């Protein structure tokens, strides 16, 4: 008797999850395309540019204040300004010593580049929790193919979150 009750309860949970998933997919289908903020610097190390474009995208008009957008981009650019000169120095040293070390001299710059990406991701998470999730926006660092060549680059994606909360009638 108790086993039958458990099966019914599990079936109801699965049905509710399927309904939630379908409703979320329906909302995302009509969400606008994400805004892409590309790197605009002169130096790129492992796909990460030394600064991001701070010009306010027109797609964000009415969603976020231009001052807030610029302040967020400036915080990301400040993080890059601190980290990338060190990465470039290690990259040059690594390239000079590459033949002697069989490529192992490039490991420090790979690790530093990964650390820089993680610090930007943490900064964007902080920005999201501080402001952008309240405005139904989500910022994240994403790897994309360059438009001009086959290289990969890191961009900031600003995604629009669904505004309508999903309620379950009891």
pLDDT in tens, 40-92: 877 666 677 888 998 999 999 989 999 999 999 999 999 888 877 666 665 66
pTM (global) more than 0.75: no
The 10s digit of each residue's pLDDT in 12-46 is 666 666 666 665 565 555 667 889 998 887 766 66
Instruction: Please name which of 41, 37, 69 lies closest in space to residue 144, comparing C-alpha atoms.
Output: 37
How many whole angstroms separate alpha carbon 103 and alpha carbon 113? Answer: 16
Task: List, as one string, the DSSP characters of 66-89.
Answer: HHHHHHHHHHHHHHHHHHHHHHHH
Average pLDDT, the chain: 77
- Number of other CB atoms surrounding residue 17 within 10 Å: 10
Of residues 46 and 127, the one with the higher pLDDT is 127
**Residues 127-138: what's their mean pLDDT?**
92
Q: Would you state the structure tokens that stand for residue 148, as one six-digit string?
A: 């001009």
Bridge partners, 49 (sequence order) = 44
Pairing of the two strands 137-145 and 48-49: unpaired
């Amino acid at each position: 008797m108790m086993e039958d009750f458990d099966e019914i309860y599990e079936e109801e949970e699965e049905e509710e999850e399927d309904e939630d998933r379908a409703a979320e997919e329906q909302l995302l289908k009509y969400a606008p395309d994400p805004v892409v903020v590309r790197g605009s610097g002169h130096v790129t190390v492992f796909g990460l540019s030394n600064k991001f474009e701070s010009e306010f995208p027109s797609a964000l008009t009415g969603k976020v204040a231009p001052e807030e957008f610029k302040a967020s981009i400036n915080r990301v650019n400040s993080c890059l300004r601190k980290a990338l000169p060190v990465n470039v120095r290690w990259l040059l040293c690594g390239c000079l010593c590459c033949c002697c070390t069989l490529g192992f001299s490039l490991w420090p710059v790979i690790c530093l580049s990964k650390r820089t990406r993680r610090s930007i991701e943490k900064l964007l998470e902080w920005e999201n929790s501080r402001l952008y999730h309240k405005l139904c926006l989500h910022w994240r660092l994403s790897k994309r193919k360059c438009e001009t060549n086959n290289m990969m680059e890191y961009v900031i994606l600003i995604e629009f979150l669904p505004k309508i909360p999903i309620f379950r009638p009891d």
